[in-house]
């Protein structure tokens, strides 16, 4: 399993390119959602962006429900990376292969 480390600073996030790390941008995604930027746990080129809901799953699709934790986040449902084929879960701050 790979630890999901949060980077509050987007520039630092993009400089370190740490596999499994993420940055949440609350200014992107609309009133009930945010952008979840992350580097794939497999280490392939990134970052990727998905839409997460702050209070349940957003109306926009595809999107994920976020439990609100920055230190040990959980996303539902699983994340499928078309680019590299990585498929798995972010649960309690760790990326787990499905």
Q: Which stretch binds Zn ion (CB under 5 A): 10-18, 21-29, 54-62, 80-88?
A: 80-88
Please answer whether residues 77 and 64 qualify as being in contact, where contact means their C-beta atoms are separated by less than 8 angstroms: yes
DSSP state of 97: E
Which of 47, 54 has the CB closer to Zn ion?
A: 47
**Upstream peptide bond of 62 is cis (omega within 30 degrees of 0):** yes
The least CB distance from residue 84 to Zn ion, in Å, is: 3
Buried b (16+ CB within 10 A) or exposed e, 15-54: eeebbbbbbbeeeebeeebbbbbbbbbbeeebbbebbbbb
Q: Which of residues 38, 66, 86, 95 is near Zn ion by CB under 5 A? A: 86
Using CB under 5 A as the binding rule, the residues of this chain from 13 to 32 that contact Zn ion are none
x-marked contacts with Zn ion along 32-71 as a string, rule CB under 5 A: --------x-x-x---------------------------
The least CB distance from residue 59 to Zn ion, in Å, is: 28
59, exposed or middle or buried, with CB in 10 Å at 0-12, 13-18, 19+?
A: exposed
By the criterion CB under 5 A, which residues form the site for Zn ion? 40, 42, 44, 81, 84, 86
């Amino acid at each position: 399993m790979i630890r999901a480390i949060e980077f509050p600073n987007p520039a630092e996030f993009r400089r370190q390119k740490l596999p499994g790390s993420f940055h949440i941008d609350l200014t992107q995604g609309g009133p009930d959602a945010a952008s979840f930027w992350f580097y794939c746990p497999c280490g392939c080129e990134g970052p990727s962006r998905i839409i997460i809901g702050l209070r349940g799953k957003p109306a926009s699709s595809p999107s994920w429900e976020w439990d609100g934790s920055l230190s040990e986040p959980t996303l539902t449902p699983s994340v499928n990376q078309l680019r590299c084929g990585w498929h798995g879960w972010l649960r309690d701050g760790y990326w787990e292969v499905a």
